Amino acid sequence: MKPMAHLGVGIGWRPEIADAVERLEGLDWVEVVAENICPGHLPASLLRLRERGVRVVPHGVSLGLGGADRPDPEKLAALGERAVALGAPLVTEHIAFVRTSSPALEAGHLLPVPRTRDALDVLCENVRIAQDALPVPLALENIAALISWPGEELTEGQFLTELVERTGVRLLIDVANLHTNRVNRGEDPAGVLDAIPLEALAYVHVAGGVERGGVWHDTHAHPVPGVVLDVLAELCSRVVPAGVLLERDDDFPPEGELAAELAAIRGVVGGPAGLLPHPAPSRNRDSAPDPAPQTPAGLDGPEGAAGPDGAAGLEGARVRVGLGQAALLSALVGGTPVPEGFDRQRIRVQARALAAKRAGVVAKVAPELPGILGSEEAYRQAFLAYARHRPMTAGYRRDALDFAEHLLIRDLPADPAARRRLTTWWQDRAGARPPRRVVRWARALVGRAA
């Protein structure tokens, strides 16, 4: 595998800290959430950074390559367009599933893939499809998880190693996620680092979180703790990463604190001069060969990699993976019974976290709603009551409209003036749609309120 191009030390670019990011000294590169930018209308801040020679890497969050379905061609095309528009050397995504198609449910979050042969076969084919469609190399990130799947057949190290060997994909290692999984799932970060092919490392993520009730929450809204920097040091003792990036997604600190966190990261990796890629030291086994040339799905890999019946076996794996993921996601967002073998308490914690995140993102997508409902707390209580038995099926913007419909059909909010404002807000954004019962009802409501 060819050495990764030098990136250096960078930070996740977010609109809320765009000005601060431009002022950070010694910044080598930034990463941007791919779904948050439009190729034809790049933010002026990103354009200025590019003019200065700062590289920009798009980081996708919605492909769901670990899901049972094949990747959406439109989502792949959109990710590729962003890579081209930014002149990016690679694109990155996650080893996760984010939705199911039967039933149609959206998690709004990255959920862990079961480390089974079936799930690995499905993931490998999905990765090959993505690699064929993208104009630049792909790297995949290990995710943080609150829950573990029952009946797993592979360790994290075995799963990631075989993924790399079968597809040639690079790895984006998030050391904060390694720490999260140590607390939540009892996985030793050093053991994972010893087992995975670090010669496939693209770059590294570093982020903050917080522990509550024995569960580590990977918030990206807290300072990077020393325990995460310790995991970064463990990684750097094995290989010098081509790039390291600080992630911060919420509760943004003053510019000086961001600069201090970047300085702490530089201190661990040895400063910009130390971030020069070189071959990773051999793992505690024979050095892995370069990935084999890609062949049609179902025809390569170790014994049983795609099932005994080739393509038919892979389709069976998709069905089995899909059934398991649908049962889990339905329990998390739809209130259905927890599938056998899962930790029920952890499922409850994860379900509450998903609902809270969903409420927060909808408030960002539709910032008028808390004001219409009277306060942030009133909005939050109303939304969580709505979300308890109303899973998201089509993204956050649709979710905001569905939430407004849910309130209006129940003659809420109670204050008539607020209800009129909500009706107007909903009408302005719903657009032309077939006159469903709710639409006819809302029109009638407007007539009564006039």
Q: Grade residue 430 by pLDDT with cuts at 50, 70 and 90.
A: confident
Residue 275's pLDDT is: 57
Residue 308 has pLDDT above 50, yes or no: no
Residue 419 has pLDDT above 60, yes or no: yes
Q: Containing H/E element for 44?
A: helix 44-51
Residue range 207-226, pLDDT digits in tens: 999 988 888 888 888 999 99
Per-residue DSSP letter, 236: H
Residue 436 has pLDDT above 80, yes or no: no
- Which amino acid is present at 441? W
- DSSP string across 384-422: HHHHTT----S-HHHHHHHHHHHHHTTT-SSSHHHHHHH
Residue 18's pLDDT is: 97
Sign of CA dihedral 302, 308, 313, 317: negative
Cα separation, 399 vs 250, whole angstroms: 21
Residue range 253-275, pLDDT digits in tens: 999 999 999 999 999 998 544 45
Between 395 and 362, name the one with better pLDDT: 362
Residue 440 has pLDDT above 50, yes or no: no
- Which amino acid is present at 29? W
Query: What would the mean pLDDT of 194-209 be, rounded to a whole number?
Result: 97
Residues 159 and 192 sit within 8 Å (Cβ to Cβ): no
Q: Grade residue 154 by pLDDT with cuts at 50, 70 and 90.
A: very high
Pairing of strands 91-94, 97-101: unpaired
Residue 118 has pLDDT above 80, yes or no: yes
Residue 217's pLDDT is: 87
Per-residue DSSP letter, 39: G
Residue 96 has pLDDT above 90, yes or no: yes
Query: What would the mean pLDDT of 236-265 be, rounded to a whole number?
Result: 95
Residue 295: left if φ>0, alpha if ψ -120 to 50, beta else—which one? beta
Q: Grade residue 303 by pLDDT with cuts at 50, 70 and 90.
A: very low
Residue range 367-382, pLDDT digits in tens: 999 999 999 999 999 9
Residues 86 and 58 sit within 8 Å (Cβ to Cβ): yes
